[in-house]
Amino acid sequence: MDFRELVKVGAHFGHVKARLNPKMQPYIWGIKNNVHLIDVSKTAFLAQRAAKFLEETAASGKPILFVGTKKAAKELIFSIATSLDMPYVNHRWIGGTISNNSQVKKSVTKLLHLEDVLERTEKFPLYTKKELNVFGKIVDRLNKNVGGIRNLRWPLGAIVLVDAVKEFSALKEASAAGIPVVGIVDTNGDPSLVNYVIPANDDSVRSIKLILDYLAAAVEKGKKAPAAKKIDANVAVNKPKEKELVVEVEEVEIPVVASFTDED
C-alpha cells in the first residue's frame, strides 16, 4: 500500500485533540488546525502486515467476518463481504453473536424456515395474505440482523472491523473468544484489543474503501491459494432437510411465529 494514496483519500485526518485516545499516540504524526494527523507511513506498513495475515487466514479455509455498521462503512462492508463470499454484519451487532452464538443460530434457522415458507406458498397457498405479510416483515427484520451471517462457520479465522469505538461490543466478544481482529482505528479509538491495528480515518468513505479494498484483495488471493480449503456454506447452519421443512410448514402456529420479534 502506498502512503501517498492514503493521503489522497484523507486517511491521515484524525479527530480534534480533545477526542484523542492516549493509546493512539504512537500513531500520531502531528497536529494541524486542532486536528490530529495520523502517520500514514505506519498506516501503510500495518495495512500490509494485516493483509498478509488475512491472506494466510483465507488460505487456511477459515471464514473471515466483516463488521461495519456505521453509515460510512455499511455499504462497503456488504459489497466487499458478498464479493468474497464471506459473512458480514452491517446493520447492528447482535450481542452474543460470538459469545452466545447458539441463540443467533436459532434466529438464522428461523429466517431460513420463514423464507422457505414464503417460497413454498408461491406455489401452494398455505396462509392468508395478512399472515404472509407478517412473515415478510419478520424476514426483512431478520435479514437486517442476521442475514449476513446465515452461512457463518466456526471456528472463525478472523474479524475485520471498521471503527473500534462503534464496534466495541464485537471487538470485546472477539477478544474474549481469542479471535484475531483486524481493525481500522481512528485517533479516538482504543487499539488495545485489536490484534492488527490499521490507524486511519474511519469516518471517510474513501479512506475506508481504499483500505478495505486492499484487504479484500489479500483475502481473494488467499482463497485462490492451492492449499485453500473449500468452505461448504450449506453446512454452516442446521438447515432442515426437504421432508423436515414440509412438516414444519404444516405444523407452524401462526400466533407464535407472528409474535416473534428481533429489535432493529
Query: According to the model, what pLDDT value does residue 194 have?
Result: 98
Query: According to the model, what pLDDT value does residue 227 have?
Result: 66
Q: Which residues on neighbouring strands pair with residue 197, listed in sequence order?
A: 183
**Better pLDDT: 134 or 251:** 134
Under the banding of pLDDT at 50, 70 and 90, the label for residue 245 is: very low
Mean pLDDT of all residues belonging to the chain = 87
CA nearest 240: which of 249, 253, 230? 249
In the predicted model, what is the mean pLDDT of residues 148-162?
94
In the predicted model, what is the mean pLDDT of residues 100-111?
87
- As a CATH number, domain 3-98+156-223 is 3.40.50.10490
Tell me how far apart the terminal alpha carbons of the chain are, to the nearest angstrom: 37
Phi, psi dihedrals of residue 224, rounded to the nearest 5°: -90, -5
Dig out the grid coordinates for 201 from the structure: 480515518
In the chain, residues under CATH classification 3.40.50.10490 are 3-98+156-223
**Better pLDDT: 262 or 10:** 10
Under the banding of pLDDT at 50, 70 and 90, the label for residue 250 is: very low
Dig out the grid coordinates for 213 from the structure: 479494498
Predicted TM-score (pTM) of the model is 0.83
